[in-house]
Amino acid sequence: MRSADEVAREDLLTFLNAAFVSTGQAEFASTAEEQRLGIDFLHEYVRGNYRRLYARLLAVGINDFHTAEILRGLLATGRETPEDFRGEENALIRAGARRLPPQRFWKLTARLRREGVNNRRTRAMIRHWFDTHPDQTFQAVKYRRKVAGAFRHAHIHPDGELAEFLFGDHRSPFGTELLETYRQARYSQQAVLRLPYSVAQGLAAKHGMAPETLASRMKTRLTDKERLRVAGRTEDVEIRPERLSLTELTSWLLSRKELDEQADQWLDRAATAVLHRSGPLALTGRVAAVLDNSFSASASRERRGRPLAIAFAADRLLRLGHADYRGFWTSPFEGRPRPEGQSNLSERLLDALDWGATTVLVISDGVENDPAGAFPSIMARLPAEVQVLHLNPVFDPEQLEVANLTTHARALGLHRAEDLPTALGFARYVVGDGTLAELEGNLAGPVRRFIEGGHDA
Amino acid sequence: MRELAAPLSLPGLTPAPSQVCGTFRLVPLLRDRDCEDVRLVDAGWEPGTRFVVDANRLSFGFVPHAFHLDWGVALGTQVLTDPKDRGRNWLVTHRMRKRLSPGRLRFLPQHLAIEGLLSMHFNPPTIAWPELSQTFMRDGLGMRMESFAPGTEIPGFDTALRIFEIHPRQVGMLVFVSDALAAAFVVPSPRDYRRLHLGLLDSLYCDLMITYACHHPTRWIVDPAPHFEGASTVVELREGLASLRREWAQVTNEVLLGDLTHRGLRTETVYSLPGMRLERFVTSLELGAANHIGERILRDDGEVLHLNTLRLNASQTRRAHLLSVLGEHDWHLPSAAEALRIDVPSVVARLEAQGFGHLVNHNFREQAAKARRR
């Protein structure tokens, strides 16, 4: 019989892995519905059994999809909050909502409205978010429908011209410049070009402007993510690679045909920035990485090439962050990696051991097929000083975990290459040293900083 | 020319460890020695039903695709240009195999094999026995028909093919559904294979495979633990990995291919090329065992360059078997009945049950029916 502590640790690690890695999108071997089913179950389970930790995990740096899920879950089940935890939970909800990017926040309010969750905390959260937002007019224009819906749901009466803008007809001119631009965009093409890009897209169609024309005329005003989205379709919109995060940059570079000198420089710069923020990597000795660029690293249409991008970016990070490092790809390549070939992870592990590595990081989706099942057998016979850690960018909804190649420890989910330093730091807890009380203690500091409005991990 | 040949084997090819998806087990085949002088390319035809006109035969059926076989010295990396292929979009196709130019042959995969099944076992009678009907004497066997299912109708097959990771040196595939061989497919080089991999979905399969695809998923793999026992250094571990791969190849050949490797084939050479031949074959028809038909291109030293097999279900086997026994005995019903170890009315009953009742004289049929009733 396992103790309550061990059960709790298993449950939390499963949830943490899921919360770091999964995004509800289709993967190589599972559909989006299967992913959602697994994720919904995990959330309900952890919320029911470990509510305090569930709320505190908002502070740890899980991805936005799960932050929104946690907030929705907490707000919908307010009756189950223990008395002494209520204040902290409210503070965590407020801080979590603040951390969400605006589009996710408004999507969350739309979902709360759809599900009929309307209690005092919900209304307070929406009101607080909007009141403390620095640029309310911009929000009202860019997310007009969702903002109006949220205000209706929470019975909020905005003051000034916003009430007229959101709920009235736009007969008379507005005083605020952005609202007036929106009003004029109905009949003026010039006004359309002065609006934010996503709003302009819809109105441009009314004027008969082609989307490519709109993008090239507005190219100085696009945000970086919008540039990435439009890049495939128009020629003149430029990407500013210095402003992209490491994994975004890698995904974009791998979608192009060649990797030239300049791409190399951008990658190095982004990786150095990550290392600068996180400090030195928690690695010692000779480190080898077994990197998976088999066909399954191409994932699905929604997550195109993401596992491969994570592996490539992690390779770059390790190369710059650790002196004695070498990467072993399942299908060695010249120039740029392509997701083809089989998952012959065992062979690469043996190559790494031949090279003399004492720590081996395996970044793979864990499905080995050339031959199947050899990795765990080899792991059982490794020399004692060699440590193997499996980092997995793919979540398997049927087993409710990230697939695990190692026998003595669990695999860690890896959502972005930037999380690699954090994951290496967590490795100690994952391998089995550390109790639940220690984990709670370790979380107390980040939680306090999170609530007081600092930046997350 | 029809002859009896050695059992089906895969010389020059090594199976690699299989990948399993649900009920499908897909085994890649790797070639030991690269093939430089033969290429097999899809002809780019639209799938559709066509009439195929041969020298003395007219066939009608659904043709999903056609292949072009190119041969020459050091074809290896040449980019092959589009052929001037007249049969591309027409309803009527001239000839099941047709030489388009020196060095290029067009043939319809699997149709060769199916036509072989329909005609190979039929030997017309030389003596006009009274039991046989006038229709038979005048018109011969008439129309023979068999039906197969396309791969798109097998549930889960498209997913299994889509998530299969193609080996860089892979030239062929063995498709097992619930661990029963559904098809074997081999092409000359890895580049050809990558283009034709998804074409497996359009090929024809036995309708038994649709039933098999609904069974429980297969789960067994070759146990890796014994191969690494006692290994402590990296060299020993590598040796264990190599021996595990060898065991996979051995298990595939012995267990999965089963008794196919022991039963003889009946082959017919369809076309001869310099140094190779294109032939179609049927395994020895044993009622109750798995029977396959297919076509293959063999080099003179036995290396398999192209292979495409199709499994028969029980009723197709029975029909072919009955016709072949009758043919062997020159359609003399009493001696055929003796060979089958039943009496003559039962032979007539079998012919009727399998749709060949029109070959037997009407009066004789009634007599046999009366004899059975008694």
- The predicted-structure confidence for B67-88, as pLDDT tens digits, reads as follows 878 776 655 555 555 555 555 5
Confidence band, pLDDT 50/70/90 cuts, at residue A435: low
The reply to whether B219 touches chain A by the CB within 8 Å rule is no
pLDDT for A366: 85
pLDDT for A143: 92
Structure token digits, residue A181: 């631009």
Contacts of A430 (CB under 8 A, 6+ apart): A13, A409, A410, A412
Burial class (CB in 10 A: 0-12, 13-18, 19+), B337: buried
CA-CA-CA-CA dihedral for B281, B111, B158, A369, to nearest 10: 30
Question: What is the DSSP code (8-state) at residue A168?
Answer: S
- Asked whether the predicted pLDDT for residue A454 surpasses 60, the reply is no
Q: What gap in Å lies between CA A351 and CA A344, rounded to an integer?
A: 11
pLDDT for B84: 55
Chain-chain contact of A350 with B16 (C-beta, under 8 angstroms): no
Q: Which residue of B has its CA nearest to A369?
A: B19
Q: Which of A441-445, B141-145, B163-167, B270-274 has the lowest mean pLDDT?
A: A441-445
Chain-chain contact of A370 with B16 (C-beta, under 8 angstroms): yes
Chain-chain contact of B166 with A347 (C-beta, under 8 angstroms): no
Chain-chain contact of A381 with B231 (C-beta, under 8 angstroms): yes
Q: How many CB atoms lie within 10 A of CB B372?
A: 12
The average pLDDT across A364-393 equals: 87
Nearest Cα of chain A lies from the Cα of B61 at a distance, in angstroms, of 36
Q: What gap in Å lies between CA A423 and CA A436, rounded to an integer?
A: 18
The reply to whether B241 touches chain A by the CB within 8 Å rule is yes
- Asked whether the predicted pLDDT for residue B129 surpasses 80, the reply is yes
Q: What gap in Å lies between CA B100 and CA B85, rounded to an integer?
A: 8
- H-helix or E-strand containing A109? helix A102-115
A residues 151-180 closer than 8 Å to B (CB) = none
Contacts of B88 (CB under 8 A, 6+ apart): B43, B44, B45, B46
Q: Which of A28-37, A124-133, A144-153, B51-60 has the lowest mean pLDDT?
A: B51-60
- Asked whether the predicted pLDDT for residue B123 surpasses 90, the reply is no
The average pLDDT across A259-278 equals: 87
Q: Which of A108-117, A255-264, B51-60, B67-76 has the lowest mean pLDDT?
A: B67-76
Strand ranges (DSSP E) for A84-128? none
| Cβ neighbours of A28 in B, within 8 Å | 163
Please, are residues A278 and A421 in contact by the beta-carbon 8 Å criterion?
yes
The average pLDDT across A178-205 equals: 87
- Asked whether the predicted pLDDT for residue A116 surpasses 70, the reply is yes
pLDDT for A455: 44
Helix A306-321 vs helix A420-431: angle between axes, to the nearest 10 degrees? 90
Nearest Cα of chain B lies from the Cα of A369 at a distance, in angstroms, of 6
Mean per-residue pLDDT over chain B, rounded: 84
- Asked whether the predicted pLDDT for residue A457 surpasses 60, the reply is no
- Asked whether the predicted pLDDT for residue A299 surpasses 60, the reply is yes
Q: Compare B325 and B77 and report the one with higher pLDDT.
A: B325
The average pLDDT across A413-431 equals: 76
Nearest to A141 by CA among A92, A182, A184, A100: A182
Confidence band, pLDDT 50/70/90 cuts, at residue A420: confident
Helix A246-254 vs helix A224-231: angle between axes, to the nearest 10 degrees? 10
| B188 upstream amide cis, omega within 30 of 0 | no
Question: What is the DSSP code (8-state) at residue A125?
Answer: H
Q: What gap in Å lies between CA A376 and CA B125, rounded to an integer?
A: 65
Chain-chain contact of A369 with B228 (C-beta, under 8 angstroms): no
pLDDT for B208: 92
- Asked whether the predicted pLDDT for residue B60 surpasses 70, the reply is yes
Q: What gap in Å lies between CA A168 and CA A151, rounded to an integer?
A: 14
Q: How many CB atoms lie within 10 A of CB A264?
A: 12
Q: What gap in Å lies between CA A194 and CA A177, rounded to an integer?
A: 10
Contacts of B367 (CB under 8 A, 6+ apart): none
Please, are residues A378 and A350 in contact by the beta-carbon 8 Å criterion?
yes
Count of CB contacts below 8 A, A vs B?
A: 73
Please, are residues A335 and A259 in contact by the beta-carbon 8 Å criterion?
yes
